[in-house]
Every structure is written in C-alpha cells, then in structure tokens.
Amino acid sequence: MALLPVKQEAYQVRCLKRALGILGCFSLVRQELSLSELCGLTALPKPTVFRLLSSLERARLVERTPDGQRYQVGIRAFELGNVFLAHLSIETVARPIMESLTERLGVTSNLAILDDGQVVYIATTDPPGQLRYRFIIGYRHYVHCSALGKALISELSPEDVRRILQQHGMPARAPGTLTDPESLLQDLQNTRDRGYALDDQEGAVGFRCLGVPIRDHAGKIVAALSVSAASPRITPETIPALAGDLRGCADEISRRLGWSENRG
C-alpha cells in the first residue's frame, strides 16, 4: 500500500480531528445545533464546518432536522453506540440483577461508570407507576452531588478528587449540594466507613439515592450501582436495610466480573 505524502496525511488527520470535534459538540443537553452554533463551539470557519458536516451526513453520522435548519446525531452514530453497549460486559451482567432489585424494592436502580471525571449512566431500571428522577442512558452528571459519583471516586486520592473538581466545578444543584472540596472529602471518608454513598437531596430536591462501587477481578472500582426514589420512599429509617441489599447486589455483580472478597 502506497504511503500518503506527509502534507496530505497531516491534512487528513486534521480533517478527522475537526470532524470528531464537531460530533463531540452534540450531547443530551445539546441534541440539535445550527451551523452557526457549531462554528462557535469549534472556533472553525463556516465553510470548513459546512464541508465537514456534509461528509458526516454522507456517513450518516449526522443528519438535518426536519426543517433543514439544524443538525442532529445520525442513525449510524446510534448504531455504533449500540455496538459499544452490546460489548459492555458490566451492563450485560448487571441488568438482570438491577431488574430484580427494582422489582423487589420498588425503586429505580442505576448503573454508571466514571469517564473524564464525570458520572456516565449506562443502564437504569424503573418501577412501573412510580415518581422518579429519570436519567437517560449516556447522561453525564457531576460526581459531587450524586451517590453514584461519590461511590465511583470514593477510593481516589484527595489530589485526584481535587483535580476532578477543579476541572468540572462543584455547582449547587439543590440547597443541600456540597460545594466545597473539603466537605466532599469528608463525605467520601464517611462513604468508605459505612460502605455506601448517600445523596440526600443533593442532586435534586425531593429525591434520595444510595450508591455502592462495583469492582473488577483486580478489585478496582469500575462502575457503581445505585437505588433512587422520592425521599418519602428512602428515609433515614429504611436506609440501613436498603444499603445492605444494594451492597449484596453490587457484590454479586462484582463476583460475576471476577472479583473475590479474598483478593480485596
């Protein structure tokens, strides 16, 4: 196979990086973007963005909205996302255990991983007919105001935790949100001592959530499992029993991933 000239190869790499940058502008909170908005987000000139969007359209990675004025993620990106989920063994292993947990306790169960210092939801199961604070698969959340986030970072060093907080901040999502690093570090110590993380209406008023880590064969935290419900359903009196049930489910998922209590 003939090698490309250095300048041509560099040009193609630059185009690829720019196209990926355009795709990275879309998220669950920015599902549709205009050409002008994409130019602003990428700091690229309009002709360049339009040319790259045309290539992404041909690849079905983006598509026009019905009015033709904006862009959204295309069907091919959805297909690739499903390929990723199909090979994500944690979700496959956890799903039946989560469904059983939700059916038995009547609460929402959530599964998430840590990516670039943020919580990313990869699975959720909801009880029928219950008021719930619904997260969409792929939703990104802060670590400081969610039980999943606290569980995921519970064994990081204080320096690593501070680095995450410096990168993403600690915005107040509710009156009870922890908004300074020292308070969070103390909360993480409490999490390790009692064996579970608690979000006591810190991410949203009226909802409580408990979270525990999931470990791989080496004992490393690779995901977290949580249960969440309206605060009248998760009370200080019910938390200990609920946390024990949740830990049992997380431990079972961890064992199926190769973890053993004897190895830590």
Q: What is the pLDDT of residue 263?
A: 53
- Do residues 233 and 252 both lie within one domain? yes
- We report the CATH number of the domain holding residue 59 as 1.10.10.10
Alpha carbons 204 and 212: distance in angstroms, whole number: 19
- Do residues 51 and 123 both lie within one domain? no
Amino acid at 192: R
- Do residues 71 and 98 both lie within one domain? no
Beta bridge pairs of residue 32: 72
Alpha carbons 198 and 187: distance in angstroms, whole number: 9
Q: What is the pLDDT of residue 201?
A: 94
Q: What is the pLDDT of residue 2?
A: 47
Q: What is the pLDDT of residue 138?
A: 83
Give how many domains the chain has, as a whole number.
2
Q: What is the pLDDT of residue 261?
A: 76
Q: What is the pLDDT of residue 1?
A: 44
Is 11 a member of any domain? Answer: yes
Which of 80, 96, 118 is the last residue in one of the domains?
80
- Do residues 59 and 111 both lie within one domain? no
- Do residues 45 and 161 both lie within one domain? no
- Do residues 59 and 151 both lie within one domain? no
Here the tokens at position 47 are 């002709």
**Could you tell me the mean pLDDT of each successive run of 10 residues in the chain, 264 residues long?**
60 89 89 95 95 95 94 89 70 94 92 95 83 66 97 97 97 94 97 96 94 92 94 92 96 90 61
Phi/psi for 128 (5° steps) reads -70, 140
Is 1 a member of any domain? Answer: no
Q: What is the pLDDT of residue 128?
A: 77
- We report the CATH number of the domain holding residue 258 as 3.30.450.40
Q: What is the pLDDT of residue 133?
A: 47
- Do residues 75 and 93 both lie within one domain? no
Among 183, 174, 162, CA closest to 202: 174
- Do residues 41 and 163 both lie within one domain? no
- Do residues 178 and 123 both lie within one domain? yes
Instruction: Assess contact for 71 and 53: CB atoms under 8 A.
Output: yes
Among 94, 144, 138, CA closest to 120: 138
- Do residues 232 and 108 both lie within one domain? yes
Q: What is the pTM of this model?
A: 0.72
**Sheet of 62-64, strands arranged across:** 32-33, 71-73, 62-64
Residues of the domain holding 153: 88-263
- Do residues 154 and 195 both lie within one domain? yes
Which of 44, 62, 80 is the last residue in one of the domains?
80
- Do residues 27 and 67 both lie within one domain? yes
